Structure 1
Amino acid sequence: MKISLNWIKDYVDLEGIDIKELWYRFTMSAAEVEEVEFVGQDIKNVVVAKVLSVVPHPESKKLKITQVDSGDGIIQIVCGAPNVAEGILVPLVKISGSVNKIPKIGKAKLVGVESFGMLCSASELGISDDHSGLLVLDGDYAPGTDIKSIIDIDDVIIEIDNKSLTNRPDLWGHYGIAREIAAIYGRELKPMNLDSLEGSEEKSKLDITVEDTEKCLRYSGLKIDGVKKLETPLNMKVRLFYCGMRSISPLVDLTNYLMLEMGQPMHAFDSRQVESGIVVRSTKETTSFKTLDGIERKLPEDVLLICTKERPVAIAGIMGGENSEVLEDTTSILLESATFEGASTRKSSTKIGLRTEASARYEKMLDPNMTVQALQRFVKLLRDMQPDIEFASALTDVYCNKLEPIDIEITKSYIDKYIGNTLTAERMVEILRSLEFKVDVEGDTFRVKVPTFRATKDVTMKVDIIEEITRVYGYDNIQPQTLDVALKPLQYNEERLFDHKVKELLSERFGASEVNSYIWYDNNFNSRAGIETKAQVKVLNPQAHDSNTLRDSMVPGMLAFAEKNEKTYDDFSFFEIGSIFNAANSKEKCEQHKNICVLAASKLKSEDELFYDLKGLLSFIAKTVKNIDLDYTVCTKEHNWVHPVKSVDVSCNGKLMGYLSVVHPMIKKNIGKKLNIAVLEINRDVLHNIEQKAIKYKEPSKYPEVLLDYSFLVDNSVTFDKLMQDIGAFKSDVLNGFEFVTIYNGKGLPEGKKSMTFRFVIGSAEKTLSSEDINAFANSLLDYMAEKGYTLR
């Protein structure tokens, strides 16, 4: 956004302020200044000249020979402008003068005729892009008058980064920038000249109806008659051009000028086009509409329009329609000054693919309390151009959603806590009031009323008040101080530490990959895989219709991950610690807790191998984190993915915590026919709340231990617990412990048998075992196992 310093000077005295230092401080306090450009510096020795005579050039059809009064004599100028005529006042660059892109004007001979200077267009003065002819000056100026005394050519143009203004809709106009500068330098902000609209109250009100009160916050209108042929003041054109807008017509120029000055977009309708009244409504279907730029646009559903009773005339907050523009013969206008909801304006602009200066401001969420003030300012500027305009209606104001100032209570001690005891209470109040905040002081307490132009999306809480004070005072003026903070020991979250320990074991010890899933079921996948759930907790506003039920088990989500990886990997395992939700029915209170879920899948291992892998994994985790042994009993088979035989409930001291199962064959075939899958799911909260069993330590032997692995043939009917009990009953002075290693039930085994491998740890605290000792233990163990019906494989 471009800002004119001359414009700023209308509202704040900048005498004695270094311009470069000004914009540095503005950057540090308000918004980022990207560029500072000094314009008009190359316009030198240019004066007003009166054309006394014009004769054709004898050797050129385009050139003319003129005699002009330069103020200090009559001089001859050869000119090619089509509008050069006797009696007009125009800018003249005298010998040794300079203009835009021409560093020095000298005496010249054009097609054999001498010329002693140059008559200028607005483009050559750098105040417009119009180079179609000479700039004709309206007014009674004496020849020789310095052109800069009547045209504000010298200026400083500041470009501010738009992104830094996103949260500051009040800074999208010159008056808001002037307010900031006045506050930074402690100078007075001059009031804006407004028209009282006296006489309009006697007229009838306009017929204005707002149907969509969510998107249109306020709509103010005023009808004015007697608008004659106007001419935009030259300096107004210059300011518009310097700020990136070209002059179009007087009434359009006025609305653009108001937008750049106050940040409030406006629109002037030809009254003949809106005689039936104004209706503000949203489209209910795709609508064709031709905008002011002559482009036929397809407006989608839910775009806010300004309409008459019969047809749309403007896209609210974005651009007017071709059928309502002000024409040369327009004598009556209906002025619109409105506020539209920011997010809806942004969405509509994006849908249509049309972003304008107006929409860029509306989407920042403008202050609705500014609409009437903008109308008063417009009328004041219009009266300056034509004093005899007449009101054809009363001010009509439809205020749908009134915005009230925000009240914030804050204490000086609270402010001091953040910035130190740097500022006095009086200085804090002075800064806030300079920004037009109202402040009442009671002892140490400030009761701050935030102006509505800062309350739309910027200042809403106490820390925002602190920011206002510190940024205006200057962040670099605050002395850094060491915080005086009491050091307290960190309170660890035991559940989080427990989860971290379990995840560490699963990933590092067992090589499982952690996954993260949504807390709701994918009903499409469950239906496809044949999974049945009994979940009762529903989402009222789901992201998708097929994701409206909160899960009561994590297994279906893990099976979905297995399906996605089945074609890529032959062997994999996943785990997740996540929330599940249970309720007896849809009307009962919901219970939430966390589960630990692990899935192991393989095309290389059998179901039994996967089952015992998970059993060993779970037993190891329980032993490591709680030093407890788990009990495995016949499964209650609550879910339809649980295998009817190869499944067990997991408990500890009679307290059920979950289950371990091979996936049911009907479910497995829908995920991958060749993929064997086993899952375990236990209640994390139950496991975490089990009291950790004390670990008993014994002094290790200084003599080495020996590891012996034996694989026994076991009847399929023998349970794992029975085998463990039988081995545990074997007694030997050198046996220090044993553990299950693996199971095999593939080829090469007798019918009805399975092979189960155990590792025995033997050693002595008194000596190193000899081969005779080891053989004696082995023979004793094998004889014992044979008596129990277990033969060595």
Structure 2
Amino acid sequence: MRIPVSWLAEHLELPEDTSIDTLTEAFVRIGLEVEEVTRLTPVTGPLVVGRVAEIEELTEFKKPIRYCQVEVGKSETGEQQTRGIVCGATNFSAGSLVVVALPGTILPGDFEITARKTYGRTSEGMICSARELGIGEDHDGILVLPPGSADPGTPANEIVGLDDSVIELAITPDRGYCFSVRGLARELSNAFDVPFGDPANRAIPDDDRPSRNVRIEDETACSRFVFRRLTGVDPTAPTPWWMQRRLALAGIRSLSLPVDVTNYVMLEFGQPLHAWDAAKLSGDVVVRRAAAGESLVTLDGVERELDPDDIVICDDSGPVSLAGVMGGSSTEIGQDTNDVLLEAANWEPAGISRMIRRHRLPSEAGKRFERGVDPAVAAVAAERAARLLVDYGEATISAGRTDVGQPSQPAPVTMPLALPDQVAGVRYERGVTAKRLTQIGCRIEVGTSDDGVGVVTALPPSWRPDLTQPADLVEEVLRLEGYHTIPSIVPSAPTGSGLSAGQRRERAVSRALAHDGYVEVLPFPFIGEATLESLGITEDDPRRRALRALNALESDRALLSTTLLPGLLDSLQRNVSRGRRDLALFHIGQVVLPGPEQPSVPELGVEQRPSDEQLAALHAALPAQPRHVGVVLAGQRERSGWWGAGRDAEWSDAVRAARLVADTAGVPLSVSAGDKAPWHPGRCAALEVDGAVVGYAGELHPKVVEALELPKRTCAMELDLDALPVTDDRPAPDISAYPPVRLDVALVVDEEVPAADLAEALRSGGGELVEDIRLFDVFTGEQLGADKKSLAFALRLRAPDRTLTQQEATEVRDSAVAAADQRFGAVLRG
């Protein structure tokens, strides 16, 4: 919201020495963010009003160039001085009053004007646009002053208003009333404790006769609709310069008198207006929702298909306006329009917001409607615009006024008088609460509750629909008293015991994965149904019972993550698309796993502390939220180079990552064959701790890889970190000073026997002297027999207190082989 300071000061009794810095500080103090302050510094040098006496069109150039004779004032002898000036703008004619910078003038930006030869002519100055003078952004044409506003040669600094300043503010959605001079001036009056002259306090003539019959079929869409009719309007009448200037400083381009008047009143009152050509309307006017299949050609010439949720204004021919967003071309005011209907309505904010986004039609009017417009000001705004058209457009106000609809009134709010003091921790002076609530427009009644406590009942004004509960009133009191008056007391930090065992384990796992070459990523925490389907997760899988966010950041990803894989694979895909080939990523994060019959979350108030029963119900309604650790791998796990060929990542690397997590956590991990989407059924490992499955690792299914456009043979692992028992007091490993004994054992077993299970049998049979078992060879062939395979293991044996003899080592090996034979029928390979 851009607004000139002079316009604000018109409604306030500010001290004469109030500076722009003081105003800026006041806005910030009462909670409004100031984005930019533009000081319009007077132009130095001979900046004067000029009258264009003659125009010569230079047709020998590709673009329009005009050589103008401009009267710039009388000389000492009384003769009119004329200067020849080259100009490329075409929005003026002979007789127009313009602003001329004569040689020696320095415009904003230290741009000095000199006489120079250009386009075959000598230009003795420059005809200025609004942007060149620093009073607006319009550079499509030069600044044309209204006829009779000044004589040629008159200094232009004061006429143009270059001694003003412009403040640009960022208005939050709950402060829709601040999108107007009326609202901002009221806020400043509260900040300075000075009287405020409300521009909406205007008398409206009583007249119950309608200007045109209007019927509101959907009262939720439109709470009030006002028509005011004018005849004899001159649409070609010039807009007065003072209005043009204010619109330009507010960032709005002057177009025509009817349009400028509606824009001016919108900035003044915050009530958007729309001007209709009354002669182009047929029959009664109806406000309703659009019907299926209806369309409307809007003022920008685009035919728009209407949605049944759209709010439209119709006559006998059908929709003629997209309510609150853009009018229709069929009722547009043209050069021959002299019968005008001024519309001031109040629309449903949510409906207008949806229409703006649906049709991609943002506007200054829509910006105000979707934040809420004061319904009480509609008739006043229409009357103000009508009077301006009478004064400057030779219009006549017709008898009668249409005013239909019943806006809802704000509900009164009651709170203890001392509540602001309690919230802020400050003892305010007596009467502060009543004073501040009155300043913002509330009508108040002070009384006593049944238990003898002083209370205040406030009826919010029509422009403050956001005041609905005691906390809102408290905020207003604290805001106007100044947040800087609330002491900032930092509480002393209680002594703690440091990180918990679970936190220390999580950090240790994160460091271990990073040391092993994995890079941590922070993926988007929400997923979509399409992603779960592409991962091959079936409907009966618990991971499909995802909770949906009520106000999702992205409509196609509105589910709370039940698995870390979608986010990790998305990060992998994004890196691959940017040229990265060899990737190893990990993430430790929270997933949300609701039960099959998840109870609903109870709604708790904020007026008092919830009871123990309410808190218990709240905790019971929360779904399980365990922390998982996941990794994804693609490309080469060991890169190639001068040292030799590399090695592609494979399923065993994902299993190794799981073992690394378990080893870091200090718990034994068992690995067995598994089958779980989205992994490849034949290359998937189930991860078990104490007999319970805590995760899966392996190579992703080829269909998943294809659906997500991932690199071939992408591998992944996901493990429930919270399912691992916390071993806070893990013993240090025993280190023996005695040498190990290494033995190799090759066993022939059935082809379906997992190598991990066979290794576990060898370990249990060998006993405590088995320090390590490693599979180093797998062999199949005709000499072994059908459906047979040979698994070769390297056993490392060691005793903590002695050097093992050959006989002891042989006994350990035989015991281990016997255990494997007993469980799987394993036979030593000859």
The bucket for the TM-score relative to the shorter chain is 0.5 to 0.7
Amino acid at match of 1:14: L
Does 2:809 align with 1:778? yes
The CA deviation at 1:297 is 1.6
Q: CA–CA distance in 2 between the matches of 1:549 and 1:360?
A: 30
**398, 402, 410: which one aligns with 2:408:** 402
Q: Secondary structure at the match of 2:263?
A: helix
The CA deviation at 1:262 is 1.0
Amino acid at match of 1:218: S
Amino acid at match of 2:408: K
Amino acid at match of 1:778: A
Does 2:205 align with 1:174? no
Does 2:734 align with 1:710? no
Give the root-mean-square deviation of aligned CA atoms.
Answer: 6.5
Does 2:297 align with 1:289? yes
The CA deviation at 1:724 is 4.2
Does 2:383 align with 1:373? no
The alignment of Structure 1 onto Structure 2 pairs a total of residues equal to 721
Does 2:240 align with 1:207? no
Alpha-carbon spacing, 1:147–1:257, altered in 2? closer, same or farther (3 Å): farther
**254, 262, 266: which one aligns with 1:259:** 266
The CA deviation at 1:261 is 1.1
Matched residue, 1:755: 791
Verify the 8 A CA contact 1:13 1:187 in the aligned structure 2.
Answer: yes
Q: CA–CA distance in 1 between the matches of 2:457 and 2:341?
A: 41
Alpha-carbon spacing, 1:481–1:327, altered in 2? closer, same or farther (3 Å): closer
Q: Secondary structure at the match of 1:32?
A: strand
Amino acid at match of 1:7: W
Amino acid at match of 2:489: T
Does 2:774 align with 1:741? yes
Matched residue, 1:35: 37
- After superposition, the C-alpha distances for 1:398-438 in whole angstroms (9 at most, x for unaligned) are 34x736257474764655654x5374353454344323245
Q: CA–CA distance in 1 between the matches of 2:528 and 2:357?
A: 33
Matched residue, 1:436: 441
Verify the 8 A CA contact 1:525 1:560 in the aligned structure 2.
Answer: no
Verify the 8 A CA contact 1:519 1:580 in the aligned structure 2.
Answer: no
Verify the 8 A CA contact 2:582 2:634 in the aligned structure 1.
Answer: yes
- After superposition, the C-alpha distances for 1:208-231 in whole angstroms (9 at most, x for unaligned) are 2345656x4434223435556688
Map 1:79-478; keep pairs closer than 5 Å: 135-136=147-148, 156-161=163-168, 163-164=170-171, 168-192=175-199, 194-201=201-208, 203-204=209-210, 206-211=212-217, 216-224=221-229, 227=232, 235-236=242-243, 239-240=246-247, 243-245=250-252, 250-280=257-287, 281-282=289-290, 284-285=292-293, 287=295, 289=297, 291=299, 295-302=300-307, 304-326=311-333, 332-342=339-349, 345=352, 348-349=355-356, 355-379=362-386, 381=388, 391-399=398-406, 402=408, 404=410, 407=413, 409=415, 412=418, 415=421, 418=424, 421=426, 423-438=428-443, 449-455=459-465, 468-469=476-477, 471-474=479-482, 477-478=484-485
Alpha-carbon spacing, 1:254–1:42, altered in 2? closer, same or farther (3 Å): farther
Amino acid at match of 2:441: E
Q: CA–CA distance in 2 between the matches of 1:33 and 1:233?
A: 29
Q: CA–CA distance in 2 between the matches of 1:785 and 1:66?
A: 112
Q: Secondary structure at the match of 1:333?
A: strand
Q: CA–CA distance in 2 between the matches of 1:513 and 1:84?
A: 72
Could you tell me the TM-score, scaled by structure 1's length? 0.67
Deviates more, 1:752-761 or 1:494-503: 494-503
- After superposition, the C-alpha distances for 1:750-792 in whole angstroms (9 at most, x for unaligned) are 5534224244341443x6x4xxx55454344456567777648
Amino acid at match of 2:272: P
Q: Secondary structure at the match of 2:271?
A: coil
Amino acid at match of 2:771: F
Amino acid at match of 1:716: D
The CA deviation at 1:367 is 3.1
The CA deviation at 1:478 is 3.5
Q: Secondary structure at the match of 2:431?
A: helix
Amino acid at match of 1:712: A
Matched residue, 1:108: none
Verify the 8 A CA contact 1:571 1:603 in the aligned structure 2.
Answer: yes
- After superposition, the C-alpha distances for 1:174-202 in whole angstroms (9 at most, x for unaligned) are 2222112211211011133655443412x
Alpha-carbon spacing, 1:92–1:522, altered in 2? closer, same or farther (3 Å): closer
Q: Secondary structure at the match of 1:136?
A: coil
Matched residue, 1:11: 11
Q: CA–CA distance in 1 between the matches of 2:458 and 2:630?
A: 56
Verify the 8 A CA contact 1:736 1:761 in the aligned structure 2.
Answer: yes
Amino acid at match of 2:463: F
Q: CA–CA distance in 2 between the matches of 1:547 and 1:130?
A: 50
Q: Secondary structure at the match of 1:455?
A: coil
Matched residue, 1:106: none
Alpha-carbon spacing, 1:260–1:745, altered in 2? closer, same or farther (3 Å): same
The CA deviation at 1:564 is 11
Verify the 8 A CA contact 1:349 1:359 in the aligned structure 2.
Answer: yes
Amino acid at match of 2:426: N
Q: Secondary structure at the match of 2:384?
A: helix
Alpha-carbon spacing, 1:698–1:664, altered in 2? closer, same or farther (3 Å): closer
Map 1:542-581; keep pairs closer than 5 Å: 578-580=591-593
- After superposition, the C-alpha distances for 1:139-188 in whole angstroms (9 at most, x for unaligned) are xxxx99x999xx97657533333545665322222222211221121101
Q: Secondary structure at the match of 2:302?
A: strand
Alpha-carbon spacing, 1:736–1:432, altered in 2? closer, same or farther (3 Å): farther
Q: CA–CA distance in 2 between the matches of 1:78 and 1:566?
A: 72
**% identical equivalent positions:** 17
Verify the 8 A CA contact 1:739 1:760 in the aligned structure 2.
Answer: yes
Alpha-carbon spacing, 1:275–1:679, altered in 2? closer, same or farther (3 Å): closer
Matched residue, 2:613: none
Q: CA–CA distance in 2 between the matches of 1:242 and 1:183?
A: 25
Deviates more, 1:123-132 or 1:513-522: 123-132
Verify the 8 A CA contact 1:668 1:677 in the aligned structure 2.
Answer: no
Could you tell me the TM-score, scaled by structure 2's length? 0.65
Matched residue, 2:118: none
Alpha-carbon spacing, 1:159–1:147, altered in 2? closer, same or farther (3 Å): closer
Q: What stretches of structure 1 of length at least 5 have no aligned partner?
A: 48-53, 55-61, 104-119
Q: Secondary structure at the match of 1:13?
A: coil
The CA deviation at 1:263 is 1.9
Q: CA–CA distance in 2 between the matches of 1:244 and 1:786?
A: 89
- After superposition, the C-alpha distances for 1:658-706 in whole angstroms (9 at most, x for unaligned) are 687988999899999x988998877766x35x686986779866x3453
